[in-house]
Amino acid sequence: MTDTQTIPGVDWLSDGNARITLRHALTVEGKATSTLIMRCPSLLDIEAMDALSGSDMAREKATVSGWCGITTDELSGIKWPDYKRLQQVYVAYCAGTAGNFTVTAAA
């Protein structure tokens, strides 16, 4: 049995990463893009996230931008519906329910 998450606009890749399609283009490195890749976090990434200070939103923003390989300033330009999609992927990774994770129930 698997317990994974399907999120519209998200392709869970075999390398553990997620390709997220944006409804509104985001400017990254001076170029408009309609997709972001959020890398699958490592244990080190989770430890670094736990060590961040600031508000919940500031910590989440720093984590999401880092996992997507963009700056927090670039992430600040994202439209709210697209951020909510990124947030769903972030939560799925943290909860272990990402669509490319396979959780097998004990027999």
Question: What are 35's strand-pairing partners?
Answer: 21
E strand residue ranges, the chain: 10-12, 18-28, 31-38
Spell 10-45 as b/e; 16+ CB within 10 A means b. bebeeeebbebebeeebebeeeeeeebebbbbeeee
Q: Give pTM, 2 decimals.
A: 0.85
Calculate the CA 84 to chain-centre distance. 10
Q: Residue 104 — very low, low, confident or very high, per pLDDT cuts 50/70/90?
A: low
For the stretch 42-71, pLDDT in tens is 999 999 998 999 999 999 999 999 999 999
pLDDT bracket for residue 102 (50, 70, 90): low
* Average pLDDT score over residue span 86-97: 92
pLDDT(22) > 70: yes
